[in-house]
Amino acid sequence: MKHFDYIIAGGGCSGRSLAVRMLPYLKASNKQLLLVDKLPKKGNDKTWCFWEEHADVFEPVVYKKWNRLLFSSHFIQQELNIYPYTYKMIRAADFYTYTDEKLSGNPHIITIQGNVERLYTENQQAYAIIDGEVYSSDYTFSSIPRIQNKRPERYQYLLQHFMGWVIETETAIFDTECATLMDFKTPQQTGTSFVYVLPLSPKLALVEYTVFSEQELATEDYTTALKQYIEEQLHCKKYTIKEQEYGVIPMSDHPAQRQQGRIIYLGTAGGFTKGSTGYTFRFIQKHTSAIAEGLTKSGNPIISSVFPNRFKTYDAILLHLLGSRRLSGEEIFSELFEKNKAKQILKFLDNETSLMEEIQIFSTLNKKEFTLALLNRTLKTIA
Ligand SMILES: Cc1cc2nc3c(=O)[nH]c(=O)nc-3n(C[C@H](O)[C@H](O)[C@H](O)COP(=O)(O)OP(=O)(O)OC[C@H]3O[C@@H](n4cnc5c(N)ncnc54)[C@H](O)[C@@H]3O)c2cc1C
Mutate which of 7, 20, 48 to test ligand 1's pocket (most atoms within 8 Å of Cβ)? Answer: 48
The CATH code of the domain that includes 141 is 3.50.50.60
Does residue 68 lie in a domain region?
no
Residue 174 sits in the same domain as residue 214: yes
Residue 138 sits in the same domain as residue 163: no
Residue 232 sits in the same domain as residue 277: no
Q: How far is ligand 1, taken at its centre, from the CA of residue 12, in Å?
A: 6
Give tens-digit pLDDT for 107-121: 999 999 999 999 999
Atom number, ligand 1, closest to the C-alpha of residue 130? 42
Does residue 62 lie in a domain region?
no
Q: Are 67 and 86 within 8 A, CB to CB?
A: yes
User: Does pLDDT of 382 surpass 90?
Assistant: no
Atom number, ligand 1, closest to the C-alpha of residue 162? 1
Does residue 166 lie in a domain region?
yes
Give tens-digit pLDDT for 174-209: 999 999 999 999 988 888 999 999 999 999 999 999
Residue 280 sits in the same domain as residue 330: no
Residue 20 sits in the same domain as residue 97: yes
Q: Which residues pair with 357 in a beta bridge?
A: none
Phi, psi of 112 (to 5 degrees): -135, 155
DSSP single-letter state for residue 255: P
The CATH code of the domain that includes 165 is 3.30.9.10
What does the pLDDT average to over 164-179? 97
Does residue 304 lie in a domain region?
no
CA dist list (Å): 105 to 18, 99, 111, 166, 211 = 17, 12, 10, 34, 42
Residue 179 sits in the same domain as residue 145: no
Pocket of ligand 1 (CB under 6 A): 9-15, 36-39, 41, 46, 48-50, 115-116, 143-145, 245, 247, 249, 266-269, 279-281, 284
Residue with more model confidence, 108 or 366: 108
Residue 204 sits in the same domain as residue 266: no
Residue 128 sits in the same domain as residue 97: yes
Nearest residue by C-alpha to atom 52 in ligand 1: 247
Band the pLDDT of 221: cuts 50, 70, 90.
Answer: very high
Q: How far is ligand 1, taken at its centre, from the CA of residue 182, in Å?
A: 22
Asked which of 267, 298, 329 is the last residue of a domain, the reply is 298
Residue 199 sits in the same domain as residue 342: no
Does residue 369 lie in a domain region?
yes
Q: How far is ligand 1, taken at its centre, from the CA of residue 139, in Å?
A: 21
What pLDDT does 370 receive?
83
Band the pLDDT of 326: cuts 50, 70, 90.
Answer: confident
Give tens-digit pLDDT for 229-283: 999 999 999 999 999 999 999 999 999 999 999 999 999 999 999 988 999 999 9
Which residues span the domain enclosing 163? 157-252
Does residue 54 lie in a domain region?
no
The mean predicted confidence, pLDDT, of the chain is: 95
What pLDDT does 189 receive?
81
Residue 285 sits in the same domain as residue 354: no
Does residue 305 lie in a domain region?
no
How far is residue 161's CA from residue 374's CA, in Å, rounded to a whole number? 25
| Structural domains of the chain, count | 3
Atom number, ligand 1, closest to the C-alpha of residue 49? 8
Q: Which residues pair with 125 in a beta bridge?
A: 122
Does residue 247 lie in a domain region?
yes
Q: Are 190 and 221 within 8 A, CB to CB?
A: yes
CA dist list (Å): 82 to 50, 52, 71, 88 = 12, 10, 12, 12
163 Cβ contact list (under 8 Å, min separation 6): 208, 209, 219, 222, 223, 226, 244, 245, 246
Residue 226 sits in the same domain as residue 284: no
Asked which of 298, 327, 353 is the last residue of a domain, the reply is 298
Residue 31 sits in the same domain as residue 120: yes
